[in-house]
């Protein structure tokens, strides 16, 4: 748990390589490497241009607008923000959800998990996994996957589409939905909608099982390299249900140490600040959360599919739990501590999401019409959800005029900030140290970051604003070489 390679001893004597922004990662991310003349790595940092205007965007607005407006913080996981905000504001209005409202929200959430995990595995990560981290960049993309494995790619598209249909039916619209509101939901699911979703759910479960098989097969084929790639030890944090089960919608906070020992369990997330603090570092806009009991140097942790898989006692759906048991036991448990293990865990979660959707669609409560509740008004509300990328915290204070006067959001990618930095430092040690810097080697850094599926929601995606820039500078900051990549391909920018 050291910060080796975070800060070089004599940076003035080193040359600098910047990868900006990281491709296939949502938003603005930049990696800088400081190398000496022998290409030995002295410093590695992932800089994230986190937009800290979230809070300002929300403050001063009526609380009932918040679940809708927070969707605009992020084009990738709007549903997670929609639900986390709704949960926080349930607390503000003192609501205990009706069974129908909670199950419809769960259906929406598991639809989001399904479509997000499908996109990440089949289209963002699989080019690396199917073609290798050194493969030609022209092949290593979504279109390359369709060419090489059309059935795999097509299933990925259809899994994603199915998840989005669930979102459309529960949120009311494909995007900018309004389904979840403080105190419940405002849209019931019709029998026709339920039946439409039921028609395809068994296929989705089957394809999700196949996806677990694909990543398992890739691990079997590349076991030693996958186990070691970007490997580091970390504590883990996630929600778990009262009985210790994986629950991506609701539960108490559980943290475990790197060797699996409990640090705290079933902690009420309404007081999350008693166990988590956000540290700042002068070289990054993004904060570095840590567990209070261990302090900033020792208390950083990881969140997301891998953390959830190792943190829970069981998964409450049978097919996914069988896969979880196999994952944790495989090769003495090594993949469960590997950075690439995120992919395996993510596919088990996708299977869990599909099974959960199936169960919810067979539950008569899902067709109920008792959608709203209300209780005693509170000044403060905290909502926590396990978003596709990890734990997401929304925290609001609302005044007597029903206006939000304080907002604090800790998003999954912020929780994983130190873990991602650690992963790329390990990769730099393993693959770059003392070697010539090539595009393929730099992709190894990106592969490590992509394992976390970071979502840096500050980006806009207007045409012409999606470049990847790699810059090599000497110790005086003079540009020695620069390559530029956007939707039209790679070209020299100097």
Partner 1 sequence: MKAPLLVFGWGNPSRGDDALGPLLVERIEALRLPDVECLTDFQLQVEHALDLHGRRRILFVDASVDAAAPFSASRIDPAKDASFTTHAMTPQAVLQVYRDLEDEDPPPTWLLAIRGESFELGQAPSAAAQGNLAAAVAWTRHWLSGRQPP
- C-alpha dihedral sign at 334, 338, 340, 342: positive
Q: Which of residues 100-119 bind partner 1 (CB under 8 A)?
A: 119
- The reply on whether position 486 binds partner 1 by CB under 8 A is yes
Residue from 1, 49, 135, 157 that binds partner 1 (CB under 8 A)?
Answer: 157
Residues 35 and 42: beta-carbon distance below 8 Å: yes
Shorter beta-carbon distance to partner 1: residue 71 or 236: 71
154: contact with partner 1 by CB under 8 A: yes
Q: Which is nearer to partner 1, 78 or 179 (CB)?
A: 78
User: In whole angstroms, what is the distance from residue 390 CA to residue 122 CA?
Assistant: 19
Position among 47, 109, 123, 308 found at the interface with partner 1 (CB under 8 A): 123
How many Cβ atoms are within 10 Å of 292's Cβ, its own excluded?
13
Write down the least CB distance from residue 317 to partner 1, Å: 25
Count of alpha carbons within 13 angstroms of residue 53, beta-carbon side: 9
Least distance in angstroms from the C-beta of 36 to partner 1? 30
| Range list of β-strands (E), 178-329 | 180-181, 184-185, 235-240, 252-256, 262-267, 276-279, 288-291, 301-302
Residue in 4, 138, 326, 379 binding partner 1, rule: CB under 8 A? 138
Burial of 322 (0-12, 13-18, 19+ CB in 10 A): middle
Closest CB 433 distance from partner 1, rounded Å: 27
H helices of 36-77, in order, are: 54-58, 66-69
Which residue number, 237 or 459, has a Cβ lying nearer to partner 1? 459
* Chain centre to alpha carbon of residue 403: 30
Residue 155 touches partner 1, criterion: CB under 8 A:
no
> 369, 487, 492, 494: which one contacts partner 1 (CB under 8 A)?
487
By the rule CB under 8 A, 492 interacts with partner 1: no
The angle formed by the CA atoms of residues 83, 86 and 92, to the nearest 5 degrees, is 155
In the complex with partner 1, the residue whose CB is nearer, 233 or 461, is: 461
DSSP state letters, 330-395: GGGG-GGGSTTHHHHHHHHHHHHHHHHHHHHHT-GGGG----B------SEEEEEEEETTEEEEEE
Q: What is the DSSP letter of 124?
A: I
Residue 51 or 273: the one with the smaller Cβ distance to partner 1 is 51
By CB under 8 A, is residue 171 in contact with partner 1?
Answer: no
Helix (H, G, I), strand (E, B) or coil at 398: strand
d(CA 278, CA 411): 11
Instruction: Report, in Å, the least distance between residue 462 CB and partner 1.
Output: 4
Name the nearest CA neighbour of 249 among 452, 86, 404: 86
The H or E element containing residue 136 is none
Q: Site map for partner 1, 33-72, x if CB under 8 A?
A: ------------------x-xx-xx-----------x--x
Tell me which of 36, 210, 485, 493 binds partner 1, using CB under 8 A. Answer: 485
Nearer to partner 1, 90 or 453 (CB): 453
- Among 24, 187, 254, 394, which residue interacts with partner 1 (rule: CB under 8 A)? 24
Q: Is 135 in the site for partner 1 (CB under 8 A)?
A: no
- Tell me, by CB under 8 A, how many residues bind partner 1: 58
Residue of 135, 137, 206, 294 interacting with partner 1 (CB under 8 A): 137
Site for partner 1 in 424-463 (CB under 8 A): 455, 458-463
Distance CA 274, CA 276 (A): 6
Please state whether beta strands 41-48 and 29-35 pair in parallel, antiparallel, or not at all (unpaired): antiparallel
What is the contact mask toward partner 1 in residues 185 to 204, using x (rule: CB under 8 A)? --------------------
Least spacing, CB of residue 96 vs partner 1, in Å: 31
Return the range that interacts with partner 1 (CB under 8 A); candidates 275-283, 311-319, 341-349, 482-490: 482-490
Contact predicate 187/172, CB 8 Å? yes
Backbone angles phi, psi at 414, to 5 degrees: -70, -45
Q: Least distance from C-beta 28 to partner 1, angstroms? A: 9
Residue 160 interacting with partner 1 (CB under 8 A): yes
DSSP string of 98-109? Answer: -HHHHHHHHHHH
DSSP 151-206: HHHHHHHHHHHHHHHHHHHHHSSSSS---EETTEES-PPPHHHHHHHHHHHHHHHH
Work out which of 17, 19, 25, 312 binds partner 1, going by CB under 8 A.
25
CB of 472 to partner 1, least distance (A): 20
To partner 1, the closest distance from the beta carbon of 234 in angstroms equals 25
Of the candidate residues 111, 156, 289, 390, the single one contacting partner 1 (CB under 8 A): 156
> Smallest gap, in angstroms, from Cβ of residue 391 to partner 1?
20
Alpha-carbon distance 418 to 234, whole Å?
10
* Binding stretches for partner 1 (CB under 8 A): 21, 23-27, 51, 53-54, 56-57, 69, 72-73, 75-76, 78, 119, 123-124, 127, 137-138, 141-144, 146-147, 150, 153-154, 156-157, 160-161, 164, 174-176, 455, 458-468, 485-490
């Amino acid at each position: 748990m050291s910060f080796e390679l975070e800060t070089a001893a004599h940076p003035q004597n080193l040359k600098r390589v910047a990868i900006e922004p990281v491709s296939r990662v949502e938003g603005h991310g930049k990696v800088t490497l400081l190398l000496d003349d022998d290409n030995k790595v002295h410093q590695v940092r992932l800089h994230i241009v986190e937009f800290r205007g979230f809070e300002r965007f929300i403050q001063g607005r009526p609380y009932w607008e918040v679940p809708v407006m927070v969707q605009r913080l992020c084009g990738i996981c709007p549903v997670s923000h929609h639900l986390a905000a709704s949960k926080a504001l349930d607390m503000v209005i003192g609501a205990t959800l009706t069974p129908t409202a909670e199950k419809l929200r769960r259906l929406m959430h598991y639809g989001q998990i399904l479509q997000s995990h499908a996109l990440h595995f089949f289209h963002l990560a699989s080019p690396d996994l199917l073609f290798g981290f050194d493969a030609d960049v022209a092949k290593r993309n979504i279109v390359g996957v369709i060419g090489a494995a059309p059935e795999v790619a097509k299933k990925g598209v259809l899994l994603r589409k199915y998840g989005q249909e669930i979102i459309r039916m529960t949120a009311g619209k494909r995007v900018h939905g309004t389904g979840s509101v403080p105190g419940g939901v405002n849209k019931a699911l019709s029998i026709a909608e339920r039946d439409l979703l039921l028609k395809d759910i068994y296929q989705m479960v089957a394809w999700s099982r196949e996806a677990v098989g694909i990543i398992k097969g890739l691990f079997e084929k590349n076991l030693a390299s996958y186990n070691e790639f970007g490997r580091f030890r970390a504590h883990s944090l996630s929600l778990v249900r009262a009985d210790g089960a994986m629950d991506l919608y609701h539960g108490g906070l559980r943290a475990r140490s790197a060797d699996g020992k409990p640090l705290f369990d079933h902690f009420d997330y309404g007081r999350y600040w008693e166990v988590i603090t956000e540290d700042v570092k002068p070289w990054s806009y993004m904060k570095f959360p840590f567990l209070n009991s261990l302090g900033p140097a020792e208390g950083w942790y990881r969140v997301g599919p891998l953390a959830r898989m190792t943190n829970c006692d069981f998964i409450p759906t049978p097919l996914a739990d069988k896969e979880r048991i196999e994952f944790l036991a495989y090769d003495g448990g090594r993949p469960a501590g590997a950075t690439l293990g995120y992919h395996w865990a993510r596919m088990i979660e996708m299977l869990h999401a599909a099974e959960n959707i199936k169960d919810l669609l067979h539950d008569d409560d899902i067709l109920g019409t008792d959608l709203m509740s209300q209780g005693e008004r509170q000044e403060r509300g905290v909502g926590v959800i396990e978003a596709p990328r990890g734990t997401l915290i929304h925290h609001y204070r609302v005044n007597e005029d029903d206006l939000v006067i304080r907002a604090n959001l800790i998003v999954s990618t912020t929780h994983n900030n130190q873990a991602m930095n650690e992963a790329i430092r390990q990769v730099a040690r393993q693959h770059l140290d003392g070697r010539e810097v090539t595009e393929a080697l730099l992709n190894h850094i990106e592969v490590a970051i992509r394992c976390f599926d970071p979502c840096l929601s500050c980006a806009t995606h207007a045409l012409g604003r999606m470049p990847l820039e790699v810059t090599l500078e000497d110790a005086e900051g003079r540009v020695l070489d620069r390559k530029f990549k956007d939707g039209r391909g790679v070209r020299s920018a100097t």
